[in-house]
A and B are shown apart, each in its own frame.
Chain A
Amino acid sequence: GAVVSQHPSRVICKSGTSVKIECRSLDFQATTMFWYRQFPKQSLMLMATSNEGSKATYEQGVEKDKFLINHASLTLSTLTVTSAHPEDSSFYICSARDLRDTGPYGYTFGSGTRLTVV
């Protein structure tokens, strides 16, 4: 089945630095990538949607200059948290979709990244 590889799984960074999270679709072409953030004991909140070769569409309240998303190829999307602050500490999950797969299994999640900003 479809696999999405997300790295790193855990990262600790100092306040004010930037962190890059990668998601790769290993055996399919991810025409669309979704980035979610999840705080403890809460559900997944969509941050942004990106289509290959296009600018990402950000959800209301998500700062596009702080959370930089690049989807330059059909197999790779990156999320860069710039000038990270402790309140950015969260669990970040990507999900990839091949729009040519119209079935229910068309959404594939990465394994998540636990970001801790100290």
Chain B
Amino acid sequence: GQNIDQPTEMTATEGAIVQINCTYQTSGFNGLFWYQQHAGEAPTFLSYNVLDGLEEKGRFSSFLSRSKGYSYLLLKELQMKDSASYLCAVDNAGNMLTFGGGTRLMVKP
């Protein structure tokens, strides 16, 4: 079966750094996605990792270790607008995405 775990909620301070972890066990693997979703809106693509290592894109970075079934999303210089849900999703090579439960991040002043 497919199992993707991430923390339910996190709180961080404006200007700080936060790391959101995701662990997965899937029957196949063709890449891991991170999405940002504000309430009532569709998910917005943030990053994609298919090889081990760190992918950096501005204030957002994503890391993948395939051997450990582990990824994290790193958000730097947090802003109030970063308060949202962050979804980890795995393409299990079946040409479909399986989502984790999502992490609700609250950024406080």
Residues on A lying within 8 angstroms of B by beta carbon are 6, 32, 34, 41-46, 49, 91, 93, 95, 97, 99, 104-105, 107, 109-112, 114
Contact = CB atoms under 8 A, between A and B. Distances in A.
B95 A44 contact: no
Contact of A44 (B41, B48, B50, B99): B99
Given A104-B48, A109-B42, A97 B95 contact: yes
Contact of A105 (B45, B95, B101): B45
Interface residues of B, number: 20
B99 A107 contact: no
Interface of B: 31, 33, 40-43, 45, 48, 50, 85, 87, 95-102, 104
Contacts of B45: 104-105, 107
